[in-house]
Amino acid sequence: LPPYASFFFQQGQANATVTAYRTSVLPWLQSNFRARTDRSSLATLGSSMGGVLTTYIAWSFPDMAERHGSVSPAYWIMKDGGGRMEIVE
């Protein structure tokens, strides 16, 4: 989840996930495969909670990937105390 959201009293760790992806996953892919890791060659894709993460990455880290696919995102989980869906609104 985004850092401003919580679920079952646990704060979102999306920034840590993005950092791990950039510092561990992408370098590993580059060293083990013929993979391009420039922005125009990268995409994110997620479903349900992964869709929430994908949307957060698209809005908060526009330099990370050029394309994003958010399939059936679990936006309902992002409602604040007033019933607004924070990530969308």
* Model confidence pLDDT, tens digit, residues 23-78: 999 999 999 999 888 999 999 999 999 999 999 999 999 999 999 999 998 877 76
Q: What is the pLDDT of residue 4?
A: 77
Nearest-angstrom CA–CA distance, 79 and 5: 9
Q: What is the pLDDT of residue 79?
A: 66
Is 5 or 64 the better-scoring residue by pLDDT? 64
Q: In the 8-state DSSP scheme, what is residue 72?
A: E
Antiparallel, parallel or unpaired: β 67-73 and 43-48: parallel
Which residue, among 59, 62, 68, has the nearest Cα to 87 in the 3D structure?
A: 59
Question: Which residues fall within 8 angstroms of residue 27, CB to CB, at 6 or more apart?
Answer: none
Is 83 or 11 the better-scoring residue by pLDDT? 11
Mean pLDDT of 1-28: 87
Q: What is the pLDDT of residue 88?
A: 63
